Structure 1
């Protein structure tokens, strides 16, 4: 392995050149995907190095089999993110010997048999955390937990129901996701469960279940009952012919609640469970351990317990020849060839994942803990390894469908665009399965393949009708992979390939940027002056795909366009009426249903709606999704996550969102002792530390700077909290000490905390502590800090550290108002554990 290291600036500058000046793409790549060790040393200078790393490793696996792809062939497929784009976990982990992590993006867990005991619930909790610490998103189902009020054989006498365990699993996710580590959770429950209504309401109370996405598994019987105003039976156990508990409910009333809550707070999502099971090819092997029980956090991979999936996206825009011109066309021949290669690469990644799991098992064996402690983690990965190799499940998907439409002159949401899209996804399905059959002939089928079991599966029958020879070959040779396809939110990888994520509409092709200007400069054009008296100018930036269209059609790209000219230009382009605010939402749902017929897993799509849409429309969209054959659906109404605090009481429902924020108590005289959090992080390549004094759980003061042991900051790694104590010297001078308990329970005091850092830091810290003490909202404090215009590079680095430390205290789901997602272009960014996350496409950014 190459041992040469690069500074952040070296890697950033080289990547900036690679991305042709796109600062955000360069920063995202260096921060998230460049090969680095746990000390932050960077071993790759640009994505070109990364793509050679991927090509080398996959070529190594290819050599085990017939007709291997060469390293150069693979590199050409990856280079510039042009054709085939392995997603986050594979891109980060393949060929990475510095970190021990899985290549799987997502997992589902769940115990066999009766799993209603506290032991089973805690076992699932531990397994969830063990997977998240390896970078995995996790999903699991709660339908096995007995309903509220039912008898239990312990001192409680009756069960508490689902909701307390939702909070348990949510809190575990938040714990493991601290400091920007990945942790994403999906909790599901069947609509049959008597506590499903409590599950549906659980996230409406502010601060509850903030670490999980929730979706309700709805069967066809319930949907028909809701549509026709009929009664519906709920029972526990949910699939029992002789349940221990049952009740009859008004299906329409519960349906209206699902719709209302989704309209109010964007959750729950709905999973049309009968459609999922009916269409699922792996469920042909349900009795052999492949019964689907839940989905991953974004909902695009329904999985059985202990199966996992790695993701890869094919960039559809790159197959448009002569983009934006009258003679533009889609190269189906090259596309079909590359789909087959993508499926082959995905199968190679399964072998690489098997190697990673072996390394994880070796690491567990070498850990100093006792066998009793290590047993759960080892057994977990042994189950995952078995399921991974038994089914060899893959997740080949797409990105840039919106850009493909525009480049071909098709308008998103029209019948002609939907017809074309269906043809593209049909081509993917036929060629991915053809590749899997060829690999079965060359490498062997997945071990439990059985044509007879699959003969009545609707998806397989569609393949048979479209390509009878493919089906005959599959019956003869088998198939290498139990399931192959998905459409996942491609997140930050779309940003780096500069495409529109998944099957989403395109984002607005022109946008405004702002820059601060000197008002005394007579050449400056001043658009507005902000509340701080700073002068700003706004200027238009064209998205690079829009520039391609302009160049193809003879429009100057350097001209300064007036607003009227700009509107005219956009109206002439293929992007006109094709953004998320323009599309017909019902047509989008129908398009998803038609595409779904050719995707054996599922499709992750969020329907983004303006704030003024009615609940009736949300209900209509959900109902249309079921009728159209979608496997799931989620809606997001603009502003629906702001200040969520809803009671079932009619009176509380009438409260304004602004009433949901309670101003903190103002305490101007600092208490002698304050509880404190210790936050350690890296700022550029330097190790930093922040001490945050808390009053009633809210930041009250901050001390931060470089974590220098020479200055006496000797804080053990395991110390994350303590007290900041105001003390006085003999001569009456005030100082602040930090006190914590060591492992043996002894108190350790670090005196003079305020003198440990650069004096200039301390002066700025006093300013920030002042606004915190007087109750300024945390998001506004962060905005104030980020707006400080400081001369010194060092003090600007300190400023970034303060921002990063304070973001931890933003309430989850706080909207980042005025900020658009750099990937999908929607104003749907919220804070989760201090990181920005897009509720639309799943893109995230920490630090």
Structure 2
């Protein structure tokens, strides 16, 4: 079946169809898109005509789905990277090193790459900066610089850049890192994950102390020798080397673990990465050390590491679906896997790279990440229930087949084209991951080498799964079988149409509408599954994945805090490389419900409750004769003169204090015209009534291309406008329009340390930043909109 649903056509046209600069289509049909990709990736072959045909056949009917960057960029002549995943170079612990890294990040994101960074290499807040005789502001303060940069960079096409920030669980600033995003205005362009080590988990389970430390340079070590009250320990750090470290603080490991769990329970961040397991299972254990991942976590990479992605669509390999004879066509599956590995290997030689270091790293190791999509739909078509033992066994066997065949194909490519340059054959076959594979694989590598250092990864596939006729995404269970979505019609208008899951639509086609009204019990969705079902599937697949997996464990809102923590312990003890959960609540929002009657009623109740909380818009208010207000001073290094911001308030009909107008005064006339314009616009918005809190986010996100500055106390401001937004935020908090997140966060930290569990919160639907509908949900470590297709991760 080729492009049968309207949503697939829309996604193809919006994201993957090659068009001229004026919007004129170059690809007339999706077949033209497949031909363009196949031709581009076969161009370097000795027999391009033969391989173009093979590549086209694999792409046809969505059997193999290259990542979106490959689909949209291959054969277009555009200067974009075809790689999805980057981890940037190690950040040097100096101003020069920090801003060199910011520059490299900007160049990478400009070409469309998502990036990951380990911030553990930056000295903690309060540490001495001897060269300038001051104290360090700490890594979190500098993360705001990256965040501001990211806000201004639009990736290729319509996708914004995404970033992953990691920090070791023994860094002195780890507590601030864990809680920083509890303020919704901070680090909005980052996903955050804590690097969890085995010694830390051992300390948690033993209820032992845990030391927060930072490495010392040889000169710093000399300076502290013999100094009273300075404790030194040795610790393996981000580059895999052992350093003498100064102990800054000692905490109970379980308190730190509970702080991580509490933040994740309430705010869905930070994620957890079991970094020692990642390095222990790394095929290149002898050549690199990993301390960060790409934004969604499926690609742990070394400094300047790069990896490209692609997925096998498992729904296309089920024979006789929904029958007693339903089975997997293993022969066809193996053939497509072999062709896919060759295609992805060719991408390495045809892609642009933002930085020379990334090109060198990619060509030295030739990482690829072949994964799967449509797993849940495949299981449904086989009549198996996601997470049940038979389904887990099927997933195990299918992933083993894909991985073994991918390694065979890479060995054959090494015979033909040569092994990856960084290969040490004897050390490579000692990899703990390769110990799981048949002996023939290790013998083949010893004899012939292997073309690619890594071959498998399960990535988020939300958009390409929609493009492929809305198959289930990645290894995730089906989110919902039917829902309504806005569709852009050829005349430019919109229509609301039903979008249905591929397996559901196929079942209805084969069995009839009446059968589809009473689905068999193996039609399960993500919110009806127990956490164990999610984790058992992740764990069994991880055994065959040499990189990692992007997976979200959906949890019920009313799960207890202790049960929530046990999810992470279960993941750790079942050899997962990381764990990400999503529990709907008043902060994270709730996933949308299906068209089930009871769920529709619940959705209406929530919508009504939310509506009652909103201050409705009203005609423009007349100014009262007397208003009360407050004046705030802004002093920046940009000017010798301070700004004075005055906000006046009125009392509304419900007796609530609301902002009415704003004035900004300064002796600096350089900003006069835009300040007058800004105050008039903001005042008009205030007087119109309604929810004005959006102003804080909008103003705070403004980035000055000349550079920002640090406020007193070390907080980074990306621009003067952002500073004005910060003042408005403070004022709205002071009059009760916005919550005081800092006080709530301090109280929550006290509760966690004291061992209290987190209270239950009422849920609400989350508003999409693109279309405004209450359709934003969380899956595959990414925010997505079921209504308009928006995705933070592309």
TM-score normalised by the chain length of structure 1: 0.68
Match of 1:106 in 2: 85
User: Which of structures 1 and 2 has the larger relative contact order (alpha carbons within 8 angstroms, sep 6+)?
Assistant: 2
Partner SS for 1:285: coil
The reply to whether residue 326 of structure 1 matches residue 306 of structure 2 is: no
Q: Structure 2: how far apart are the matches of 1:666 and 1:188?
A: 48
Return the alpha-carbon distance in structure 1 between the equivalents of residues 413 and 496 of structure 2.
55
Contact 1:29 1:496 in 2 (8 A): yes
Residues 144-175 of structure 1 deviation map (CA, whole Å, 9 limit, x = unaligned): 00111111124461111121112221221112
**CA 1:657–1:230: 2 relative to 1, 3 Å:** farther
How far is the alpha carbon of 1:77 from its aligned partner? Answer: 1.2
Q: SS state of the match for residue 464, structure 2? A: helix
CA 1:780 to 1:48, structure 2 compared with 1: closer, same or farther past 3 Å? farther
Task: Give the distance between the partners of 2:497 and 2:22, measured in 1 at CA.
Answer: 40
How far is the alpha carbon of 1:667 from its aligned partner?
A: 8.1
1:59 aligns with 2:42: yes
| CA shift in 2, pair 1:634/1:147, >3 Å | same
* Structure 1 residue matching 2:44: 3-state secondary structure: helix
1:298 is aligned to 2:296: yes
Q: Mark the runs of 5 or more structure 1 residues left unpaired by the alignment.
A: 1-16, 358-379, 516-536, 560-564, 645-655, 671-694, 698-724, 726-740, 753-765, 782-808
SS at match of 1:342: helix
SS in 2 for 1:310: strand
Query: Would the alpha carbon gap of residues 747 and 60 (structure 1) be closer, same or farther in structure 2, given more than 3 Å must change?
Result: farther
In the TM superposition, residue 445 of structure 1 has moved relative to its aligned partner by: 0.3
Structure 2 contact 376–475 (Cα < 8 Å) conserved: yes
**CA shift for structure 1 position 470:** 2.3
Cα deviations by residue, 1:628-664 (Å, 9 ceiling, x for unpaired): 10101111111353599xxxxxxxxxxx999999999
* Partner Cα distance (2:207, 2:247) in 1: 23
Alpha-carbon distance in structure 1 between the residues aligned to 2:564 and 2:610 = 20
Q: Is the 8 A contact 1:135 1:183 kept in 2?
A: yes
Identify which of 668, 689, 703 aligns with 1:775: 689
Q: 2:266 aligns with which of 261, 264, 267?
A: 264
Once residues 449 and 414 of structure 1 are traced to their aligned partners in structure 2, the CA distance between those partners, rounded to angstroms, is: 40
- 3-state SS in 2 of match to 1:80: helix
Counterparts of residues 628-777 of structure 1 (less than 5 Å): 628-639=574-585, 641-642=587-588, 668=621, 773-777=687-691
Report how far residue 235 of structure 1 moved: 1.2
Q: Is the 8 A contact 2:777 2:783 kept in 1?
A: no
Q: What displacement does 1:91 show?
A: 0.9
* CA distance in structure 2 between the partners assigned to 1:818 and 1:210 by the alignment: 15
Decide which of 92, 95, 99 is 1:118's aligned counterpart. 95
Structure 2 counterparts to residues 28-67 of structure 1, below 5 A: 28-63=11-46
Which SS does the other structure have where 1:30 is aligned? Answer: helix
The structural deviation recorded for 1:29 is 1.6
Contact map agreement 2:479 2:525 (CA 8 A) in 1: yes
Matches within 5 A, 1:145-224: 145-155=122-132, 157-177=134-154, 180-224=158-202
Counterparts in 2 of 1:194 and 1:663: CA distance versus 1, 3 Å: farther
CA distance in 2, matches of 1:658, 1:304: 48
Residue 844 of structure 1 pairs with residue 791 of structure 2: yes
Matching of residue 236 in structure 1 with residue 218 in structure 2:
no
Following superposition, the deviation at residue 74 of structure 1 comes to 1.6
Change (3 A) 1:386 1:696: farther
In structure 2, the partner of 1:415 is 389
In the superposition, relative to structure 1, how do residues 149 and 454 fare at CA in structure 2: closer, same or farther (>3 Å)? same
2: CA distance, partners of 1:696 / 1:660: 27
CA pair 663-456 structure 1, distance change in 2 beyond 3 A: farther
Structure 2 unaligned blocks of 5 or more: 216-234, 237-241, 488-494, 591-608, 624-644, 648-662, 664-668, 696-727, 730-737, 739-762
Distance 1:151 1:836, change over 3 A: closer
- Structure 1 match to 2:555: 609
Cα 1:780–1:148 shift into 2, 3 Å = closer
Q: Tell me, yes or no, if the aligned pair for 1:625 and 1:633 is still in contact at 8 Å.
A: yes
Q: Residue 323 of structure 2: SS of its match in structure 1?
A: coil
- Compared with structure 1, are the counterparts of its residues 696 and 165 closer, same or farther at alpha carbon in structure 2 (3 Å cutoff)? farther
CA distance in structure 2 between the partners assigned to 1:601 and 1:342 by the alignment: 17
Please list the CA deviations of residues 320-346 of structure 1 after superposition, one character each: whole Å capped at 9, or x if unmatched.
Answer: 001111111001121112111111111
- Cα offset, 1:542, TM superposition: 5.2
> Is the 1:606–1:840 contact (alpha carbons within 8 Å) kept by the matching residues of 2?
no
- 8 Å CA contact retained: 2:766, 2:776: yes
Count of residue correspondences: 634
Q: Paired residue for 2:476? A: 504
Give the one of 134, 151, 161 matched to 2:111.
Answer: 134
Q: Distance in 2 between matches of 1:411 and 1:171?
A: 45
Give the match's secondary structure for 2:61. helix
CA shift digits 1:6-65 (9 cap, x unpaired): xxxxxxxxxxx9633x33322222121111344444322232211110011122122369
Instruction: Give SS of 1:182's match.
Output: coil
Q: Take 2:476 and 2:617, find their aligned partners in 1: how far apart are those partners?
A: 40
Q: 1:574: which partner in 2? A: 522
Range with greater deviation from structure 2 (222-231 or 235-244):
235-244
Report the Cα offset of residue 619 of structure 1. 0.8
Whole-angstrom distance in 1 between the partners of 2:81 and 2:538: 31
Offset from partner CA, 1:243-273 (integer Å, 9 cap, x none): 1344322000000010000001000000001
RMSD: 4.3
Taking the aligned partners of 2:540 and 2:27, their CA distance within structure 1 comes to 42
Separation (CA, whole Å) in 2 of partners of 1:382 and 1:481 = 20
Displacement of 1:780 in angstroms is 11
- Which residue number corresponds to residue 401 of structure 2? 427
C-alpha contact (below 8 Å) 1:821/1:829 kept by paired residues: no
Give 2:226's aligned residue: none
Residue 333 to residue 482, structure 1, CA distance change in 2 (3 Å)? same
For residues 450-487 of structure 1, give each alpha carbon's deviation from its aligned partner in whole angstroms, at most 9, with x where no partner exists. 12222432101111xxx222221110010001111100
Q: Which residue of 2 aligns with 1:395?
A: 369
1:398 to partner: Cα distance: 0.6
Cα distance in 1 for partners of 2:377, 2:646 equals 49
Partner residue, 1:381:
355
* Range 84-93 or range 23-32, more displaced: 23-32
Deviation at 1:668, TM superposition (A): 4.4
Alpha-carbon distance in 2 for matches of 1:820, 1:163: 25
| 1:606–1:634 Cα contact (<8 Å) kept | yes
Q: Which residue is 1:26 aligned to?
A: 9
- The structural deviation recorded for 1:566 is 6.6
How far apart in 2 are the matches of 1:218 and 1:329?
40
Give secondary structure in 2 for the equivalent of 1:235: strand
3-state SS in 1 of match to 2:784: strand
CA distance in 2, matches of 1:405, 1:779: 45
1-structure distance, mates of 2:507, 2:770: 23
Does residue 88 (structure 1) correspond to residue 68 (structure 2)? The answer is yes
1:441-520 matched pairs, under 5 angstroms: 441-463=415-437, 467-497=438-468, 498-511=470-483
- TM (normalized to structure 2)? 0.72
Residues 643 and 657, structure 1, Cα contact 8 Å, conserved in 2: no
1:476-514 Cα offsets, whole Å, 9 max, x none, are 010001111100001210001121011101233244689
* Shift in Å, 1:845: 7.6
Give matches, 1:788-803, under 5 Å.
none
Distance 1:511-1:241 versus aligned 2 partners, 3 A rule: closer
SS in 1 for 2:81: coil
Q: Residues of 1 paired with 2:496 and 2:287: CA distance?
A: 59
Moved more, 140-149 or 449-458: 449-458
Mapped partners of 1:187, 1:657: distance in 2: 33
Equivalent position to 1:406, from 380, 390, 393: 380
**Shift of the alpha carbon at 1:301?**
0.2
Displacement, 1:447?
0.9
* 1:320 to 1:165, Cα distance in 2 relative to 1, 3 A: same
Instruction: State whether structure 2 residue 54 is matched by structure 1 residue 73.
Output: yes
Check if 1:619 corresponds to 2:565: yes
